[in-house]
Amino acid sequence: MATQSAVTPGQRSTERAAISEKTLRTDRWWLLPLITFIGFSAFIVYSTWAAFANHPSQYYSDPYLSPFYSPCFVKGCPSDINWGSLDIHWRWLSPAIYILIFPLGFRATCYYYRKAYYRSFWLSPPACAVAEPHKSYTGETRFPLLVQNLHRYFWYFAVLLGGILTYDAVLAFMYKDAAGGRHFFLGVGTLLYVINAVLILGYTFGCHSCRHITAGRINNFSKHPVRYKWWSFVSWLNKHHIRWAWLSLVWIALVDLYVRLVATGHIHDYHHVFGAVSTAVGH
Partner 1 sequence: MGHTQKMRVWRGDAAGGGFVDYDVPVEEGEVVLDAIHRLQATQANDLAVRWNCKAGKCGSCSAEINGKPRLMCMSRLSSYDPDETITVTPMRTFPVIRDLVTDVTFNYEKAREVPSFAPPSDNQGGKFRMNQLDVERSQEFRKCIECFLCQNTCHVVRDHEENKPNFAGPRFLIRYAELDMHPLDTVDRKNTAQEDAGLGYCNITKCCSEVCPENIHITDNGIIPLKERVVDVKYDPVVFIAKKIGLRKDSGRTPVGPAGGGPSPIKHPEKFADS
Alpha helix (H) residue ranges in 110-224: 111-120, 151-171, 188-205, 208-211
Q: Specify the residue, 75 or 134, whose C-beta has the smaller distance to partner 1.
A: 134
Q: Which of 60, 68, 112, 205 binds ligand FES (CB under 6 A)?
A: 112
CB of 114 to partner 1, least distance (A): 6
Taking residues 183 to 222 in sequence order and writing x for each that binds ligand FES by CB under 6 A, - otherwise, the string is ------------------------xxx-------------
- Partners of 187 in beta bridges: 271
Taking residues 105 to 134 in sequence order and writing x for each that binds partner 1 by CB under 8 A, - otherwise, the string is ------x--xx--xx----xx--xxxxx-x
Beta-carbon contacts of 115 under 8 Å, excluding residues fewer than 6 positions away, are none
Cα 108 vs. chain centroid, distance in angstroms?
8
Q: Which of residues 196-235 bind partner 1 (CB under 8 A)?
A: 208-209, 211-212, 216-217, 219-222, 228
Q: Which of residues 220-249 bind ligand FES (CB under 6 A)?
A: 241
- Count the Cβ atoms, other than its own, within 10 Å of residue 184: 13
Q: Specify the residue, 29 or 73, whose C-beta has the smaller distance to partner 1.
A: 29
Does 144 sit near partner 1 (CB under 8 A)? no
Does 18 sit near partner 1 (CB under 8 A)? yes
SS3 118: helix
Phi, psi dihedral angles at 80 (to 5 degrees): -60, -35
Partner interacting with residue 16 (select from ligand FES, partner 1, none; CB below 5-8 Å by kind): partner 1
- H/E element, 187: strand 182-187
What is the side-by-side strand order in the sheet with 182-187?
174-176, 182-187, 271-278
Integer CA distances (angstroms), 155 to 108, 158, 204, 280, in order: 11, 5, 7, 38
Phi, psi dihedral angles at 110 (to 5 degrees): -65, 140
Q: Specify the residue, 3 or 79, whose C-beta has the smaller distance to partner 1.
A: 3
Does 117 sit near ligand FES (CB under 6 A)? no
Q: Specify the residue, 18 or 179, whose C-beta has the smaller distance to partner 1.
A: 18
Partner interacting with residue 6 (select from partner 1, ligand FES, none; CB below 5-8 Å by kind): partner 1
Q: Which residues bind ligand FES (CB under 6 A)?
A: 110-112, 151, 155, 207-209, 241
